[in-house]
Amino acid sequence: MSEEKHETKEKLLDAAESLFASKGFDDVSVRELAAAAHVNVAAVNYHFQGKENLFHQVIMRRFVVQRDRSLEALEEVLGNTREKPGVASVIKALVEEYLKGTLGSPGGSSFMMLLAREMHSRHSHSSSAFFKEMVMPIFRAYSTALMDVRPCLQQDQINWVMASIIGQIHHFVARWHKKTSFDEESDEVQILISVFPALGQPIEEYIRLVTDHITAFSTAAIDSLYPEVTP
């Protein structure tokens, strides 16, 4: 692919990610996508064979990196020979990489809003291949790891635990995304920070604080609901 064609494709992906996140798939037209990317309308079909495939590629482009980083972080935790991994270390790996991949990367919070919007849409436009190739490997790997470090956990309990952790992550991502949607000196931002002071911290510190909270909160919940069984 020539450099010019690659640049056009990336412009469309960037524009689509932003528009789909803010308006949803159905309310974004091909003409609007082309205008936002400053390219010809025909470029959408030429590079992506239509809006639906463009949507799929937007998700795949970012989530491939997210998937691989999450799995590598878990492998590092499980491969630590100095100490046996516990529930907290597994949860921290999941939360930290999720937050770094969204809040810690340009456009990441918008992408998370896109996924959240898609999850609550009546008509899903992402293919089942995305869930099989992207979501399920992470879910299976971390579910297995949690059951390994806490053998008393059953699969149905793991499902609730994972849903709770991901729900917390989405909540704190949404809070940061909301803050950054306003001007830094606006009254809205000052109100948000007064209610939740962590939002006033730099992004790296916010990620650390949120990671520590979700890890501690979720670990305590698991210890309370599903305590480790001693022989």
Q: Is residue 25 part of a domain?
A: no
Q: Is residue 6 part of a domain?
A: no
Q: Is residue 46 part of a domain?
A: no
Q: 166 Cβ partners below 8 Å, 6+ apart?
A: 98
Q: Is residue 156 part of a domain?
A: yes
pLDDT of residue 119: 61
Q: Helices 87-102 and 108-119: crossing angle, nearest 10°?
A: 110
pLDDT of residue 110: 66
pLDDT of residue 118: 63
pTM attached to this predicted model: 0.81
Q: Is residue 26 part of a domain?
A: no
For the segment 110-122, what is each residue's pLDDT rounded down to a tens digit?
A: 666 666 666 655 5
Q: Is residue 143 part of a domain?
A: yes
Q: Is residue 121 part of a domain?
A: yes
Task: Write out the residue range of the structural domain in which residue 216 sits.
Answer: 59-225
Q: 88 Cβ partners below 8 Å, 6+ apart?
A: 215, 216, 219
Instruction: Please state, in angstroms and rounded to a whole number, the distance separating the CA atoms of residues 51 and 107.
Output: 20
pLDDT of residue 120: 58
- Which parts of the chain sit beneath pLDDT 70? 1, 81, 106-130, 231
CATH number where 113 lies: 1.10.357
CB-based contact 215:91 (threshold 8 Å): yes
pLDDT of residue 63: 80
Instruction: Please state, in angstroms and rounded to a whole number, the distance separating the CA atoms of residues 158 and 177.
Output: 28
Q: Is residue 18 part of a domain?
A: no
- Look at the chain and report how many structural domains it folds into: 1
Query: Vertex 223, ends 220 and 225: CA angle to 5°?
Result: 105
Residue 5 CA, chain-centre distance (Å), reads 28
pLDDT of residue 94: 96
Rg (CA), the chain: 20
